[in-house]
Chains A and B, each alone.
Chain A
Amino acid sequence: MELLDNVLLGLHTAMTLQNLFYCLLGCLLGTLIGVLPGVGPTTTIALLLPITFGLDPSTSLIMLAGIYYGAQYGGSTTAILVNLPGEASSAVTAIDGYKMAQQGKAGSALAIAAIGSFIAGTIATVVVVVFSPPLSELALRFGPPEYFSLIVLGLVLSVTLANGSVLKALAMIILGLLFGLVGADIYTGIPRFTFGEPSLMDGINFVAFATGLYGISEILSNLEQDPSRKSKVSKPKGLLPTWTEMKRSIGPILRGTGLGSVMGVLPGGGATLSSFAAYTLEKKLSKHPEQFGDGAIEGVAGPESANNAGAQTSFIPMLTLGIPGNGVMAIMIGALMIQGIQPGPSVMTTNPALFWGLIASMWIGNLMLLMLNLPLVGIWVKLLSTPYNFMFPAIILFSTIGIFSTNMNGIDLGLVAMFGLLGYVLIKLDCEPAPFLMGFILGPLLEENLRRAMMFSRGNPATFVASPLSAGLLAVAAIALILMVLPAVRKQRQKVFTD
């Protein structure tokens, strides 16, 4: 059984004392930062990225994955206890979770979120194990035109992540592609857009870019209001859900898992849309839809499971194709490249221990979260009561020192400030950062495959529709784009985001 061998290899890698330790540390730190109000998973990972650089590639990726799950769990804790979701994916949890907390049932909501996440994580890990090998085998047969079309599709679908205007999201992608070009040209070595600065030859420091865009701009948004106000935290009374609550939750957990597993694989889908979809589904199926929005446990169980399953399966396109499905995966790709690993279908064959070790640690990380977080809820509650006045200088300093320590270069700190300002201004103008980040990450890859394909075809653009696979991918991208600008779909999309 090849599959079994792979899983064993993965467990073997993930179960070394060192990797277990960093998985645990990642989960803890991820929760710690993710719990802070207004700090979502993408920001958390961007902020914590520098501390993983000293580790070897598999350990570093395992720790990052731990940070991701931790951040997501921390985000839902904040959503439930203070109604301040850090990222869109936990916004749905806040609707009924916070209501439950106000009714004194915060413990049940948190426990169901943890149990649901664990069940979803376990099932979704199996999905990753089963579907990754065939997909990466298929991707190994991709030539430059297919890869180009696949990236275009990924970018177009990332527009669905943004909830504002399609035009703005497209412009953000192109702007990201342009910023991704800074550095030495891949074929001629001519420096582009570096203004003679030698440290820009390798491109803009990815951590500086992501931290500025997410971390700094978020601090600026939070400072719009007087930051000395304290957030109101509802203290959980008991921690264990009742038997009826468990019985009511099991259906939503399983349905959420299925929905999340499927939507997570789609580029652009990821965790956010699946939690919205799960909430809508549970509300439709429920015999008491009027309870939704008023503390229905199904409204916590479904979306939380869906977003965890989606988070897990969104690793599939990242690991097998090298195409990130969301902002978090874009950061993961950046981290892999910093470790000297080119993400793509060959990772599984050239680095099997890393690949399967990561997958095994996903499950271990979920188990750790389940065991750790419920007993630690008291600490998170305390942390949530810290005034923002003391929190934001700490976040600024940690990220400043973290970024500086990656290259020991002051230019990177200038870039943080620059992208912080740019990110803040663009977000204020309803231009969302996720497509910008995706463009930045995929820019070099898109150019490389475009130029290579055009070279092989001697300048004939028909090469992109000559292969059926490439033509199919482009057709899907075109249809998606047309659907998004159609008025009917646009209204539906708005409804999903405002519901």
Chain B
Amino acid sequence: MDTQNPLTIPVNKDVVAGAIFIAFAIAFGVVSTAYPMGSAAQMGPGYYPLLLSGVLGLLGIAIALTGWRKSAERMVVVRPLALIAVLSAPLLFAVTLRPLGFVPAVILTSLLATMAAPRMSWMARILSALGLALGCTAIFIWALGIPLPLLGSLLRF
């Protein structure tokens, strides 16, 4: 994989943005219809969100239309591997914290996060994880006193 040059993909920005807004408008709008509507004088929980979804849908259509005639432009985007590593790091922390405890969760999360850096040596990754484990324990557990077990139930014998 070429890690030197940034990754680019062709995107029609206005059309895609419009489509995203329309999708959110439909999602919020459909869910709102499940709530009582009420009347203008006594608005129910569904009235205002449905109104907003309608406006958002119209704006989405207008945005998509402005981009309809333009052609797609090449745009620099983040690599899929980096994207997955960064976004799943907080999730890994959430999943590992209870069973493994704070220190192992920090080490695993930071190892996962460094996967987003393609040309980092394993030594540097491990050093950075250990450094962060020490630093985070010092700041969050010792200094701020957050009540989290350093080692989780699975690792205590």
Binding site for B on A (CB under 8 A): 51, 54, 165, 167-168, 170-171, 174-175, 177-178, 181, 185, 187-188, 190, 192-193, 216, 219-221, 223-228, 388-390, 392-394, 396-405, 410, 413-414, 416-417, 420-421, 424-426, 428-431, 447, 450-451, 454-455, 457-459, 461
Given contacts A175-B24, A404-B93, A424-B78, contact A447 B59 (CB under 8 A): no
Q: Contact: A178 with B90, CB < 8 Å?
A: no
**Chain A CB within 8 A of B87 CB:** yes
Q: Bound state CA distance, A392 and B120, in angstroms?
A: 13
Q: Bound state CA distance, A165 and B60, in angstroms?
A: 12
A168-B17, A428-B77 given; 15 more Cβ-contact pairs under 8 Å: A168-B63, A171-B63, A178-B56, A190-B35, A220-B86, A393-B129, A396-B89, A401-B93, A401-B136, A421-B83, A421-B87, A429-B14, A455-B42, A455-B43, A459-B39
**Option from B35, B43, B77 in Cβ contact (under 8 Å) with A454:** B43
Q: Bound state CA distance, A221 and B75, in angstroms?
A: 12
Closest beta carbon of chain A to B9's beta carbon, Å = 10
Determine the residue in chain A with the shortest Cβ distance to B17. A429
Which residues of the other chain, A, contact B135 by a CB distance below 8 angstroms? 394
Closest beta carbon of chain A to B152's beta carbon, Å = 14
Q: Contact: A459 with B91, CB < 8 Å?
A: no
Majority SS of interface residues in chain A? helix
**Option from B21, B77, B91, B124 in Cβ contact (under 8 Å) with A175:** B21
Q: Contact: B113 with A396, CB < 8 Å?
A: yes
Given contacts A223-B78, A228-B119, contact A454 B40 (CB under 8 A): yes
Q: Bound state CA distance, A159 and B115, in angstroms?
A: 37
Determine the residue in chain A with the shortest Cβ distance to B28. A178
| Number of B positions contacting A (CB below 8 A) | 73
Given contacts A401-B136, A459-B41, contact A220 B59 (CB under 8 A): no
**Chain A CB within 8 A of B132 CB:** yes
Would you mind naming 25 contact pairs between A and B with Cβ atoms under 8 Å apart? A165-B66, A167-B63, A168-B63, A178-B28, A178-B53, A178-B56, A190-B36, A193-B28, A224-B77, A227-B116, A228-B119, A393-B129, A401-B106, A401-B146, A402-B140, A405-B146, A413-B91, A413-B93, A416-B90, A417-B91, A426-B17, A428-B11, A429-B13, A429-B20, A430-B17
Q: Contact: A397 with B136, CB < 8 Å?
A: yes
Q: Bound state CA distance, A224 and B53, in angstroms?
A: 33
**Chain A CB within 8 A of B62 CB:** yes
Closest beta carbon of chain B to A117's beta carbon, Å = 28
Closest beta carbon of chain A to B7's beta carbon, Å = 8
Q: Bound state CA distance, A399 and B89, in angstroms?
A: 11
Q: Contact: B45 with A389, CB < 8 Å?
A: no
Q: Bound state CA distance, A414 and B95, in angstroms?
A: 10
Q: Contact: B117 with A227, CB < 8 Å?
A: yes
Given contacts A228-B117, A392-B116, contact A400 B44 (CB under 8 A): no
Q: Bound state CA distance, A171 and B110, in angstroms?
A: 36
Q: Contact: A461 with B53, CB < 8 Å?
A: no
Q: Contact: A224 with B48, CB < 8 Å?
A: no
Which residues of the other chain, B, contact A400 by a CB distance below 8 angstroms? 89-90, 93, 109
**Option from B21, B52, B86, B128 in Cβ contact (under 8 Å) with A420:** B86
Interface residues of B in 81-115 (CB under 8 A from A): 82-83, 86-91, 93-95, 97, 106, 109-110, 113-114
Which residues of the other chain, A, contact B41 by a CB distance below 8 angstroms? 454-455, 457-459
Q: Bound state CA distance, A188 and B94, in angstroms?
A: 33
Closest beta carbon of chain A to B105's beta carbon, Å = 9
Q: Bound state CA distance, A207 and B154, in angstroms?
A: 30
Given contacts A177-B52, A224-B6, A227-B117, contact A167 B28 (CB under 8 A): no
**Chain A CB within 8 A of B72 CB:** no
Determine the residue in chain B with the shortest Cβ distance to A190. B45
Q: Contact: A394 with B132, CB < 8 Å?
A: yes
Given contacts A193-B28, A394-B132, A454-B41, contact A420 B6 (CB under 8 A): no
Which residues of the other chain, B, contact A221 by a CB distance below 8 angstroms? 78
Q: Contact: B59 with A167, CB < 8 Å?
A: yes
Q: Bound state CA distance, A243 and B106, in angstroms?
A: 51
**Option from A165, A397, A410, A416 in Cβ contact (under 8 Å) with B113:** A397
